Structure formats: C-alpha cells, structure tokens
Structure 1
Amino acid sequence: MPSYTFDAYGFDTITTTGPDPFDSNNTGNSDSVANGSTIRIDPSAVASDLVMIDNDSTFEDGDGQQELADPLTLNGTQFSPGTSVETEYAYVIRPVGSTDPGDNITIYVLEFDGDVVGIASDKRLIPGQEYKIVSIASNDPTIAYADMAVCFLRGTLIAVPDGERAVEDIQVGDLVTTVDDGPQEVVWCGRQKVSGQGNLAPIRIARGALGNNRDLFVSPQHRILVAADWLAGGQEHLVPAKALVGLPGIGISPRYVVHYHHIMCAAHHLVRANGAIAETMLPGPEALRVLGPVAQEEIAAVAGPPESMPPARPCLRVGQWRRMLRHAERVSRIAPVMAHPVP
C-alpha cells in the first residue's frame, strides 16, 4: 500500500485557553467555538513526521486500513507500526486578530487506537502563534493526503551563519550565508501551494548530481549554479532547473500538491541548499507575475523596481542552455556540469 507523510503535533506541545477543544474522543466541542477557545503550538515545538500507509488516497474517520508505517512518539508514548490512525473531527482556526477567511487553517484531530493524541493540518502551523477556533469543520472529516501539510521542501537545509536551517523556518530578518558576500539579511519570505503536475511539477536533483549532499527539490524555474569548461569563457551560469532535466540524477518529480518557499535578500545572492548552489529570489517580471498582487506590493516595498536588482551570475534561458549543450556534444567537448565543491 502507498505511504503518506505529514506533520503532526502531540497535545503535549499545545496550549489551549477556554473550553478544551480536545476533550472528546468522538466529536468537536461546540462550547470551544462559542467561547472563542484558542490553541498555540509551543514556540520550541518541532513537528513530528507522521508516516502512515493506506489503501486509498484519503485520510478519514472510520477507515480501518489507515495504519502507522513507522514508529512515532507523541505525548511521551511510543506508537508502533500497525497502530490504527483516524481523523476523528476537525476545526477551522485562524490567527488571533485576523478576520480574513483567507487565513483559515483546518486542523484534524488524530485518533490512535481509539484515543485522540494530537493534530495535523492542511497548512503549516507556526509555533508560538495563537489561533482562535472559528468553527467545527466536521465530526466525520475526510481529506486527500495531497492536501495535508506535507514535506515538499520541508527539511531543505539553507546555509546560515550558525549551520543550516530548514527553508520553511527562515523568517524576515534572519541571516543566510551567501556564497559571495557572507551573511545577508532576508527581507521577504513567501510560500505558494500549487498543483505539482504538468509545468509546475518539481525538479528532483539527486544527491551528488550537482555537488549536493542530499536530494534537492526545486520549482522548474528556480535557477541553479552550474559550471563547465565548455560554457562561455568557462564562467559560472545560473540555469533554470527544468533545463537540467535529463542530466544524470536530475528529473521531474510530479505530485498532487507542492509547497514552494521563497526567500529574498536586498540583492540577488547564491546560497547553499542541501549543499547545491541555488539562487535567492530574483524579482523579475515572470517571478512577480505568478506571485499575485499582494506579494508584488510587499516585494516592491522592500526591493524597489525589478530592474534595480542585477543577477548574481549570468542567467541562461532554457533554450540557450540546450543549444550550448547540443553544440558541446557535437564537438565532443562535453564535460561534467559542476557546482561549487561541497566543503
């Protein structure tokens, strides 16, 4: 049977106010809605990887085929593979102070072998953020695994001054370690949830393919630093990941839904991502077009007009790269495509 992985938090990492929304093994607590109960993930909490197997593509209540695939410890109790897992009921929550339905998150109460033990969600929960319970979403919920807060790019490690940090944990004001200019401040962060099919399917760069020390997944247009002696002048260039498909270890990795994370500095920089060298966001017209008006306004406020940020290296379009690659093959000058060596 297929396996699925998503984030889970045990109740021992959650603080509540008002009537306890998790006091039942069967149904949501309407009093917690009426009285505006809140929940907060402890600031130091780290989500657990809940890995389960199922004979279909939906997570639901009353499905006896849903089982843990790997051991998991929640609330100090270790649950073994084969433990029955269901989603017993669900709430809609949003950050305290927000009235925007666009901020809504659905949390799914997890039941292991008949007892509720924690929550999962359809969007990432931020530790330390307080959320108000808005409504009971369902007492018999069903959700596609593809719509859970899964781990595309979660765990992708970006070099920072004190080591490495997962990209989803990087916030505005944090420092990232750049290849050319050392520590630089992040001035904007963004996240998109999109279909992982067709021209949006992520590109997988297998461990070692471009100097990376673990598999790296990026969006098709995300530029990666490459170098080869047959490139113009032997220079380093930035090339869209999709242009590299077909090289050893690089291919398309479609899935139902993906979460793309963006980090931008005041200038265009190169950073290590899982050991490979990739760009920070360059706010050109194409990148801005797909982000939407709100993000465009935020970026304009911190970065100015797109033409004011030159690229960190010469950028090749997909067609340019492929023509150069074909020419190199014809004249037998093809050489490995390299990135900076891993230190």
Structure 2
Amino acid sequence: MTDVLILGGTGWLSGRIARRLLVSGSTVMCLARGGRPSPEGASLVLADRDGEDAYDAVSGRDWDHVIDVSSNAAHVAAAVASLGDRAHRWTYVSSMSAYSDDDTVGADETAALHAPAETADDEYGRQKVAAENAVRALGDRALIVRPGLIVGEGDPSDRFGYWAAAFLRAEDAPVLLPPVEGRDVQVIDVEDLAEFIATTTVTGVINTIGDRCRLGDVLDAVRRRAGHRGDTVTATDEWLVEKGVAYWAGERSLPLWLPSGMSGFMTRSNARYHAAGGRLRPLDETIAAVVDDEQARGVDRERRAGLTRTDEIALLQLLD
C-alpha cells in the first residue's frame, strides 16, 4: 500500500488526484486550510501553510509520495524543507506560465523560464518558477509537471466552458467570436492529468498538455455539441481591444483568444508526455462532458471568465 500526502487535495484538480489514488488502493492524506471536505476515503489534516508549524502533524513519518499544487513559492519551499527528507517521491504541479518564451512554436521543456519570484507579490509565472527551483533540490525523486489549460467538468476558471455556455444560451441567435485564423489551442482533460500524476513513475520535467489544435476547429466542435443554430460573427483583434474585451480569461473576456504575437503559448511540445505514457482522451469526449456540465450548472450563472449575454448582444449590435 502506498502512503500519499497531498498538499491540497480538496480542490478541483487535487481532489481528482486524491480520488484516483484511492481507487488504486493508496492511503491518502490531504493537508489543507479547510472549508472544503477531503474526498471520501481520504483523511484531512487542517493546516495553514503560512504558519511555521504547518507541517508538524505530517513531518514525523515517511511518505511514498508527496504531491503539491501550490502557486505560492514560499509554501512550496517550506514544504520541501520540512518533508523532503521523508518523501520517496515528490510531484509538483507547475504551469506553462513558467515559460518566458511565448513566441517559439513547438518549444519543449528546455525553453526559457521567467526569473524566479523574489517576493510574495511577484506574478504567478515567477512564483511557479521559484517553486520549481525548490523542488529541484530533491533531485531524481522529483517530477515537475507543467500543464497548460486544464479543462473538464466543474472547471472553476470558466474559460473553456464559456464557449459551451455561449453557444447553448444563444440557441438560434448569433455568437461573437474572436479571430480564429492562425490561432491554436492546447488543452488537457482534468481526468487525464489526474490519472497521469497518480500513476506515472517518471521524474524530471514534463509538459502535460494536449495536442495542438486549430482554435476554429475546437470552437466548431463545441458549437456542434451544443446544438447552436445561429450565426457566428467574428470581430477583429483591434476592434475587440478597442471595445474593452480582454484576451484569454477574466471578466469581460473572450476565453482562449490570444494576441497574434503569442504564437508559442498554445503550441508547445508534448512529446515527453506522450513518451511517458500520458493519455489524451478524444477532445469530443471532453467537449461533451463540458457541454453537459454547463447545462447542469446554468449557462447564465455568474462566471469568472467570458462575456455576459447582455454584453455580447451589445457588442454584436455595434458590429451590425
């Protein structure tokens, strides 16, 4: 039986990792601040990772595997210092945002990274780099995975799911699209990522991301699954920016839309992931799950990314 400690374990991705480990017969303990339950079958230790005693309850024993998903470099460094000597294996979930090169198409894990964070206020990508550096001290016991856009049922970021909601709520009315010509997208289903982290024995650094797809093809597939019967209306980059529509994510955005100069951001190499046996389910399967999930959660709910239908209609009227 494998003893696994997940620093987290109650969130969207980490909860799925915990459940997959439990299915394989592992004993799973989650260390988290609280507020959300641990998956059924996993134990939960409440701890504040800002505290000096954060790991006292779990540092007195050996662990077959420690998994950390934090975006706070100080938390990761403290965990490695407290638990690194007691861990046979360590997995850190980093991010494609660690890369500073967003231009090179097909770049692999050797691409340039951002400078590591020096303060708690430094941005997300730099935090991930500093956290990776702390984990690298564990040598060949460590796996660093760099996912890009993680998608699937229950996605709290609302990015990929926005398009399912947009096509569902419009029904036979128009939907506003960003430019798709020459734009790409890479995604990984949360279940595939959780499976890989829970079962692989490889170490090193791996881009855990899906195959490169044309953005237009992906949006067409979502539209078909959603049964949208209306037209699509494409605006230019310049027009959208002028109207205050944001790239990629966040309030009043068009998710998955990127500046034309970021040609490498969603076209990275996933050869190491494939070589390590990483699974990628058919994209249509993921899209079906996302469309069903958006219908269940409500297409007009408050979202963390995208346009409201009211904003979208107003923009469409300006394009007439």
Point out which structure has higher relative CO (alpha carbons under 8 A, 6+ apart). 2
Pairwise TM-score range, normalised by the shorter structure: under 0.3
TM-score (norm 1): 0.24
Higher relative strand content = 1
Which entry has the higher C-alpha Rg, 1 or 2? 1
TM-score (norm 2): 0.25
